[in-house]
Amino acid sequence: MAYSDKVVDHYNNPRNVGSLPKADPNVGTGLVGAPECGDVMKLQMKINPETQVIEEAKFKTFGCGSAIASSSLATEWVKGKTVEEALSIKNTDIVRELSLPPVKIHCSVLAEDAIKAAIGDWKKKHGIEVQVAEKASH
Amino acid sequence: MSTAPTSTNTPLVCWNCHERTVGTHFCSACGKLQQIPQSLDYFALFEMPKKLWIEMDGLEQKFLQLSWKLHPDNFVNATEMERELSLQRSSELNDAYRTLRDPVGRVEYLLGIEGERKEGEKKQQAPPELLEEVFELNESLDELREAKESGGDLTALRVSLEAARGNFQEKLVEVDGQLQSAARDWDAALTADSAARKKIMARLNELLNRRSYIRNLVTNVQKELL
Ligand code: FES
């Protein structure tokens, strides 16, 4: 299967690989796994509690090229956004940006779920009510 | 394999004498070997209830009996149709035996014919409470690969990976135990209503996915440790 140029680019030069201190109260960690293939993705963000702006984002993904590209792109997108804005990112946006074929849609779902999980974790640390997580549309 | 849930009681017509045949393997009227009825699942082939606990000696005996009856050697002088049928049915019998003999394969098969699991589907259900450990395991595997490439010291990494492997192997044993107990539930609910049975099947399915996920992990670790 041929990967799109954008996927290849993110795969070869993944942005924001690494991790943030999990115990930091301003860091939210999302750890998710894809039931389809068993790949796992960790996405972390450092969020300013006053402005709710995501100041930093890091990821580490053990998975296919599309999952790596999706999470790399997700970290790029969330940086500088507010929590609410980041929550509006849909996996379909990722699919479009990376031109993912249907079999790779679940890889983008993984990234959307990871964003939600990381923000959920951060909210929990700050005692903010987390709405029942809306499942990403496949 | 056909998934059409035809009733096992569908009257079949013998290809040879055109009588309705009631025998599972041979026509009750003319005695000719019959085609594989669409509705015949592996359990029915061995004339067993759809139970997950199977007595191995009984299964083996039945298998030997049937394979002797269906064996192509018995049909060398028969018509082409019968020779063909005997080949087909012998190979089906072998598949059936191999499947039912394996406690896990048996569950997979049952869920398949009950429409609970698509053929060839192997969902790698990452158990949510294991994600953390899975992630760490993947990280250690990465480190080991890097250390191998750069010729670094592998001893400490190996030790921790060995420990992780042991840990996941224990989980595998645990899942197998859970699978066994769910299988017992299934057998006990043989005449229960379909909602109750569906629930047990969903549980079995979940356990199968979990099992294949953990097994994959263990295999991956094993490969790296070689
Ligand atoms: S194939 Fe599993 S995340 Fe892409």
pLDDT digit string, tens, across residues A78-133:
999 999 999 999 999 999 999 999 989 989 999 999 999 999 999 999 888 765 55
Say what the pLDDT of residue A24 is. Answer: 95
Question: pLDDT-derived band of residue B7, with 50, 70 and 90 as boundaries?
Answer: very low
B97 & B132 share domain: no
Would you say residue B7 lies in a domain?
no
What CATH architecture applies to the domain A5-125?
Answer: Alpha-Beta Complex (3.90)
What amino acid positions of A are annotated as catalytic residues?
A: 37, 107
CB A34 near ligand 1, within 6 Å: yes
The conformation of residue A18, written as its DSSP 8-state character, comes to S
Residue A45 confidence (pLDDT): 97
Question: Residue B64 is encoded by which pair of tokens?
Answer: 């030997």
Mean pLDDT of A43-47: 97
B104–chain A Cβ distance below 8 A for any pair: no
Q: Exposed e or buried b for every residue in B52-82, given b needs 16+ CB within 10 A?
A: bebeeeebeebbeebeeebebeebeeeeeeb
| Residue B51 binned pLDDT confidence (cut-offs 50, 70, 90) | very high
Domain termination residue (choose one: B70, B101, B132): B101
Helix spans in chain A (H): 5-12, 65-78, 83-87, 91-98, 105-125
How many contacts, defined by CB atoms under 8 Å, are there between A and B?
33
- State residue B5's pLDDT score: 40
Asked if the structure places residue B183 within a domain, the reply is: yes
Q: Are residues B40 and B89 in the same domain?
A: yes
User: Tokens 């007595």 belong to which residue?
Assistant: B55
Residues B91 and B125 both lie in one domain: no
Residue B26 is assigned to a structural domain of this protein: yes
pTM of full prediction above 0.90: no
Predicted pLDDT of residue B186: 95
Q: Tell me whether residue B2 is in a domain.
A: no
Mean pLDDT within B102-123: 82
Q: Are residues B95 and B151 in the same domain?
A: no
Q: Is the model's pLDDT at A67 over the cut of 90?
A: yes
Check whether residue B169 and residue B215 sit in a common domain. Answer: yes
> Can you give the residue range of the structural domain that contains B132?
121-225
For the question of an ipTM over 0.90, the answer is: no
Whether B107 is in a domain gets the answer no
Q: Which of B40, B67, B101 is the last residue of a domain?
A: B101
Whether residues B138 and A36 touch (CB distance < 8 A) is answered with: no
Q: Which amino acid is at A84?
A: E
Q: What is the sign, positive or negative, of the torsion defined by CA atoms of A100, A105, A111, A116?
A: positive
Domain with residue B63: its CATH number is 1.10.287.110
Number of domains in chain B: 2
Report which ligand 1 atom has the smallest distance to the Cα of A65: 4
Q: Is residue B3 domain-resident? A: no
Q: Do B159 and B204 belong to one domain?
A: yes
Structural contact between residues A28 and A49, judged by C-beta atoms closer than 8 angstroms: no
> Quick one: B93 and B126 in the same domain?
no
Atom of ligand 1 nearest to the CA of A64: 4
pLDDT category, A15, cuts 50, 70, 90?
very high
- Is residue B41, in this structure, part of any structural domain at all? yes
